[in-house]
Amino acid sequence: METQAFGTIHGQAVTAYTLTNQHGVRLTCLDYGATWLKLEVPTAVGRQNLLLTSPSFDGYADPRSYHGKTIGRVAGRIGADQYPQPLPANEGTSTLHGGPHGFSTLMWAVQATAEQLVFSRYITSAEDGFPGDIDVKVTYTLTANDDVLIDFDANTDQPTLFNPTNHAYWNLNAGDETIQNHQLMLNSHQRFAVQTNKVPTGELLDNAHGGFDFSHPTDLGAALATMQTTAEKGYDDIFLVAPHTASEPVAKLTQGKLGVTMYSRRNALVVFTANAFGDELDFGEKTSRPYIGIALEAQTAPSAVADPRYGDITLLPGQPRHEQVRYHFEY
């Protein structure tokens, strides 16, 4: 395990932690936001980072893009009126990605071994605005088989919500090209209809029409071309994951020899293609612009907050919750 100083926030030092496996795959995370900073693979021409990464801490102090950050207590958008108790709003009356003081904005304690980075945090209700004081652990594991596992664990003292995810954006190009030359496969046949504020209506739409069918490996450039007549001009969609076994992937992204395959038992995956990104964001050699990265966010469908047909995201005293996402890399 290696460490590197990575700036400061509110006078506190931010540190980057790097694990390396037998094949030379390197995983780097920050204690701030329990952020996934880099995933580097060895290639014929040297090490290549597959994530969108800001070169300095300033890029992570900006709350808008959430790149690499741990998201919680609840990923995605839930409406103020969808839970019996008021939730901390940060987008009109909605709570996006855990609200203004979500997991992505916190400093986490770290325990590191040769294979794991364990980030832990006690978060009070007064601190992030959700009911209940919670104990959270986010564990990144780098295996000898080129897998990264992220395990999310939580306990609470009062009923609350827990639907965390990681907000890494992928770009498998060595140079400055966008993800338009990537292929994407999703284990999904339906997606959630949303209101103008992007909170789901609870209805499902069929993926078969209008550029949403990724049930086979699909060219993202061609798919994005079909989206140019929409207001979003790209993907920012909550896909319903089809029933599947633990060994079946929920998503696979490839470009040439490089690939990332995601495994998750949860029933939704948000796909976001950075449709309006501009030069307010700094990703080093990758010029920030639309489609410079793709976020694939495994989660329980946000509709579960108000509709048990879409799952259960409640966290109850005495009933700890555990969620996991696994990424496998080919290079």
The residues carrying an active-site annotation are: 167, 297
Name the residue nearer to ligand GAL (CB basis): 65 or 267.
65
User: CA nearest 98: which of 107, 109, 90?
Assistant: 90
- Least Å from the CB of residue 272 to ligand GAL: 4
CA–CA distance, 68 with 33 (Å, rounded to integer)? 9
3-state secondary structure string across 14-59: EEEEEEECCCCCEEEEECECCEEEEEEEEECCEEEECECCCCCCHH
- Judged by CB under 6 A, which of 123, 236, 305, 313 binds ligand GAL? 236
- Rule CB under 6 A: say whether 235 interacts with ligand GAL: no
Residue whose Cβ sits closest to ligand GAL: 272
- Least Å from the CB of residue 72 to ligand GAL: 13
- Interface mask toward ligand GAL for 88-107; x: CB under 6 A: --------x-----------
SS3 at position 237: strand
Maximum pairwise Cα distance, the chain: 55
- Least Å from the CB of residue 91 to ligand GAL: 8
Angle, vertex CA 250, rays to CA 166 and CA 188, nearest 5 = 115
Token pair belonging to 176: 């400055």
- Judged by CB under 6 A, which of 272, 291, 329, 331 binds ligand GAL? 272
DSSP 186: E
- Judged by CB under 6 A, which of 31, 146, 153, 297 binds ligand GAL? 297
Name the residue nearer to ligand GAL (CB basis): 115 or 232.
232
CA–CA distance, 58 with 125 (Å, rounded to integer)? 27
Residues 157-176 that bind ligand GAL (CB under 6 A): none
- Judged by CB under 6 A, which of 25, 138, 268, 270 binds ligand GAL? 270
Q: How far is CA 163 from CA 71, 100, 128, 227, 256, in A?
A: 8, 16, 15, 29, 33
CA–CA distance, 55 with 79 (Å, rounded to integer)? 34
- Least Å from the CB of residue 282 to ligand GAL: 15
The owner of tokens 């959270």 is 136
- Least Å from the CB of residue 76 to ligand GAL: 6
- Least Å from the CB of residue 168 to ligand GAL: 11
Contact region for ligand GAL (CB under 6 A) — 6-14, 39-47, 55-63, 64-72? Answer: 64-72
Name the residue nearer to ligand GAL (CB basis): 20 or 233.
233
Name the residue nearer to ligand GAL (CB basis): 263 or 272.
272
Contact region for ligand GAL (CB under 6 A) — 7-15, 62-70, 98-106, 255-263? Answer: 62-70
The owner of tokens 């021409």 is 45
CA–CA distance, 11 with 264 (Å, rounded to integer)? 37
- Sites of contact with ligand GAL (CB under 6 A): 64-66, 96, 236, 270, 272, 295, 297
